[in-house]
Chain A
Amino acid sequence: MGRISEAFHQAKEANRSAFIAYLTGGFPDEASFLDKAMSILEDADLLEIGLPYSDPLGDGPTIQKSSEQVLAQGMTTAKTFELISKLREKTEKPLLLMTYYNPIYCYKGGEAAFLKKLKEAGADGVILPDLPPDQADTLIPLARAEDVDTVFLVAPTSTPERLELVTKACRGFIYAVSVTGVTGARAALPQDVPDLVRRTKAISDLPVAVGFGVSGYDTAKPIADVADGVVVGSALIKTIAENGDLKALTREIARACKR
């Protein structure tokens, strides 16, 4: 069993939903990224590291700004891989890279070299917000060969045919998007989250994690009640950017994940 499957399995055994945290690579700066990530991982079960990108069209203002900031500070793909390596030396928890497709496409050596490097750095999976599985016919077998889990997204608008296609292409877990929209903390979540989770679980045995819009206990709790994982990103970034109490937030989310 890979680290990702194992983490979901352990959370389930403990009657919890897994807490999946997102942090933009190199945010707020290269030096403090590792400390922030390790602090978050005291409460979170898995960590998504975002590869900063110039044109993150699936992201709301919070993650956009964090990407712009770290790119201006000189973050690169190579440095993101280095940060993953350093994290891997410190933790056995699952690490995933969340990246738009162009940095993979443009990487020297293409998809194969990118996935190989990602694996070498110690990552367990890759999340692909703008690469639907029908555009990933070359990437998926390469990821399987490198033993990198592929996480694709299902959305409230997904038809039964799309759910079938996406869930079959996933390995590790399935990422369900809670809202039609971009990433970003919201005060409340739409009513149809349980329905999407139910529809997804009906056709797949993989864990289903729900993300987009989780801002704290009140938004995390209803998701934790129905899904195998809760993804939190923008709220963490915002707290770090504003020098807020990061520990209090991660503890609050971890508490909400208990059933």
Chain B
Amino acid sequence: MLFPQPNEKGRFGIYGGRYVPETLIPALDELAKAYSEIALSDDFQAEFHHYLKTYVGRPSLLYYAENLSKYCGGAKIYFKREDLNHTGAHKINNAIGQALLAKKMGKKRFIAETGAGQHGVASATAAALFGLHCTVYMGEEDVRRQALNVYRMKLLGATVSPVSSGTKTLKDATNEAIRDWVTNVRDTFYIIGSVIGPHPYPMMTRDFQSVIGFETMKQLELAEGRSVPDAVVACVGGGSNAIGIFAPYAYLPENERPKLIGVEAAGHGLETGAHSASISAGKRGVLHGSLMYLMSNDDGQISPAHSVSAGLDYPGVGPEHSFYADERMANYVAVKDEEALLGFKKLSEIEGIIPALESSHAVHYVMQLAPTMRKDQVIVVNLSGRGDKDVTEAMRVMSLMEANNGKN
């Protein structure tokens, strides 16, 4: 166990658990056992870190964004460059970890769900690397928004299975992946891409992603002479990149803990209902196997989420984030579509870095936060992915926005 949570029942405080069909429970027991016996062993960790170093390209850089810091006129802003990983996002850390475990467990087939396509690409990549087949479930709406990633997955040998039920996005892709898993549970390993799902998934994904935070501590020590910054900022959909950088800091004693700020997608605005801000504007409920903050109506019917970024377009948030929010171990804020697009443009212009639309939410928030802080203070932003995949969609949305502004 790397961190004090979850407890022996797979819960972070009240959150988490295993709300899934009975058919899957033995597989989850098997997975939890394999995780603690195999994945936490020194041999496995050495092999995992070998792949992270030689294949993913870790450690990812911790980059001091001098231009942006000066532009904002406050705290020093650093970016943890997960966008520079092989396949272009933090998702590969977890995909390699889970795929390696699946291989050790003798599983023959991978399935994965994907929103933006980054986890799908990461899973397809890991499948190619380990010589197994992968089927990726992806909502039809996301297939349209993320055409480039669909082609990448196919090129990597994966089968992309478009999902036409419900809202045709990440939520429904996850439902369909779970249905596949219930059906093929005996030989199939489900690689969940975020810190969601039934125990042990949120724990396992967090542990594999926590390499982000542990590296940041070491790199910041070298750069600034201290491993703990004043604030850490990351975007939150399901919450895997945020947990990855938060967790190593979150369990520090309160007086040593930096401000941890998760940036949710406010979409068209929290007041419109068209957003993905489960903590900022949702309530407790159960989705995809765990109790967490989510967006649903009074009858418990899950509400459609909205975000300009397919990776944040999810109506729930991981149980550990729900726990952090209640315990005030982290704060959660929300940034609108158009604000994220401003962050997307500004970082491209001023630093020559095109961020993913997901990460752009964190970029926009840090541009508001930095000017309120002193020049000797330090903020680390998790730049969870690169924006190449988003260029077409960003152009489409920005031209729509300009057309609308022209009318007003």
Contact = CB atoms under 8 A, between A and B. Distances in A.
B119 interface: no
Contacts of A131: 19
A17 B136 CA distance: 41
Given A58-B179, A106-B299, A132-B19, 20 more contacts: A53-B300, A53-B301, A55-B175, A57-B20, A58-B21, A58-B182, A68-B165, A102-B286, A102-B300, A105-B286, A106-B283, A108-B298, A134-B18, A135-B17, A157-B26, A157-B185, A157-B186, A162-B22, A162-B25, A177-B23
Interface in A140-184: 152-159, 162, 166, 177, 179-182
B21 A153 contact: yes
The range of chain B's interface size is 35 or more
Interface of A: 53-58, 60-61, 64, 68, 71, 76-77, 101-108, 129-132, 134-135, 152-159, 162, 166, 177, 179-182
A158 B300 contact: no
A182 B20 CA distance: 12
Contacts of B302: 54-55, 102
Contacts of B186: 157, 180
Contact of A156 (B23, B25, B171): B23
Main secondary structure of the interface of B (DSSP, over half): mixed
Nearest to A77: B299
B273 interface: no
Interface in B136-191: 165-166, 171-172, 175, 178-179, 182-186
Nearest to A159: B26
Nearest to B172: A55
A60 B302 CA distance: 18
Contacts of B95: none
Nearest to A64: B165
B329 to A, nearest CB: 24
B13 interface: no
8 contacts: A54-B302, A55-B302, A58-B21, A103-B301, A106-B298, A155-B21, A158-B26, A180-B185
A177 B185 CA distance: 14
Residue among B166, B175, B286 with the highest chain A CB neighbour number at 10 A: B286
Contacts of B19: 101, 130-132, 135
B182 A105 contact: no
A130 B20 contact: yes
B278 interface: no
A153 B22 CA distance: 6
A102 B185 CA distance: 24
Contacts of B178: 57
Nearest to B167: A54
A177 B22 contact: yes
Interface string B18-56: 111111111101000000000000000000000000000
B268 interface: no
A93 to B, nearest CB: 26
Given A55-B175, A157-B185, A182-B183, A106 B296 contact: yes
Contacts of A154: 22
Contacts of B166: 54-55, 68
B285 interface: yes
A107 B22 contact: no
B316 to A, nearest CB: 10
A71 B18 CA distance: 26
A13 B148 CA distance: 64
Contacts of A68: 165-166
A179 B25 CA distance: 15
A241 B140 CA distance: 25
A162 B30 CA distance: 13
Nearest to B297: A106
Contacts of A58: 21, 179, 182
Contacts of A60: 179
A132 B28 CA distance: 12
A20 B184 CA distance: 27
Contact of B285 (A105, A129, A152, A155): A105
B183 A180 contact: yes
Nearest to A102: B300
B381 interface: no
Given A55-B166, A102-B285, A166-B22, A180 B182 contact: yes
B22 A106 contact: no
B287 interface: yes
B184 A152 contact: no
Contacts of B283: 106
Contacts of A61: 165
B306 to A, nearest CB: 15
Contacts of B175: 55-57
Residue among A102, A104, A159 with the highest chain B CB neighbour number at 10 A: A102
Nearest to B29: A159
A211 B407 CA distance: 58
B184 A106 contact: no
A221 to B, nearest CB: 24
Contacts of A55: 166, 171-172, 175, 287, 302
A157 B30 CA distance: 12
B345 interface: no
A136 B182 CA distance: 21
A188 B175 CA distance: 25
